[in-house]
């Protein structure tokens, strides 16, 4: 198993031990377990999104409390995919226009689920923003205005999407290739946060393996 995924899982267990009994975290764990039962690929993707969002925030704010909430947000950002049929969620084929609309809809569904369960506005914002782009080409709103949470959500989501294998493609990108992609499309992804991700990945790659596990 990939080191990044292993370390994402380790941080998951550490944080859920820390917040055992906290209503928001307990609800988050239940939702994530449901996602993992439904589609492990999406669950693994969400773990790595959460891990990267956590570390980008640690690099900026140097405090764990806020970063820990961003881990929870990343973990739940794709929860709306629970509403998608297997024919779309687990498809290795191209999607029709109608099927693509259902993919777009998962963001709103996820937001509404999390709102109904009384998750915080920061977690709702992460969910709403992870497919938005600075040039307005993203969805669901096509907005060009992104908060810090939105910028980090988008970058963390792309990193995980490229870094882990997906059912519709077998190849993965290296960290270097992902950073090059993000920098090339800096009209879509905030360069400041990309640089922070790059710095973290550089330190991560140089850390002895025994220091990576939480």
pLDDT of the residue at 213: 41
Helix axes 40-61, 3-18, angle to 10 degrees: 70
pLDDT of the residue at 27: 98
Distance of alpha carbon 143 from alpha carbon 155, whole angstroms: 16
Taking 70 as the pLDDT cut, the residues of the chain under it are: 1, 168-170, 208-214
pLDDT of the residue at 60: 93
pLDDT of the residue at 12: 98
pLDDT of the residue at 91: 81
Vertex 28: Cα angle to 27 and 29 (nearest 5): 90
pTM of the predicted model over 0.75? yes
């Amino acid at each position: 198993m990939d080191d990044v995924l292993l370390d994402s899982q380790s941080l998951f267990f550490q944080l859920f031990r820390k917040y055992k009994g906290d209503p928001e975290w307990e609800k988050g764990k239940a939702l994530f377990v449901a996602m993992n039962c439904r589609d492990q690929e999406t669950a693994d993707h969400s773990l790595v999104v959460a891990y990267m969002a956590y570390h980008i925030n640690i690099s900026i704010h140097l405090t764990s409390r806020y970063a820990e909430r961003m881990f929870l947000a990343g973990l739940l950002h794709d929860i709306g995919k629970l509403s998608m049929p297997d024919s779309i969620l687990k498809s290795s084929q191209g999607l029709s226009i109608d099927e693509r609309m259902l993919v777009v809809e998962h963001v709103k569904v996820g937001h509404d689920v999390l709102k109904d369960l009384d998750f915080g506005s920061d977690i709702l914002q992460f969910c709403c923003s992870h497919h938005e782009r600075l040039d307005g080409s993203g969805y669901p709103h096509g907005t060009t205005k992104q908060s810090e949470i939105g910028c980090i959500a988008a970058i963390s989501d792309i990193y995980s999407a490229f870094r882990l294998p997906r059912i519709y493609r077998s190849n993965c990108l290296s960290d270097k290739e992902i950073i090059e992609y993000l920098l090339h499309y800096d009209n879509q992804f905030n360069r400041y946060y990309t640089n922070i991700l790059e710095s973290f990945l550089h330190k991560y790659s140089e850390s002895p393996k025994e220091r990576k596990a939480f």
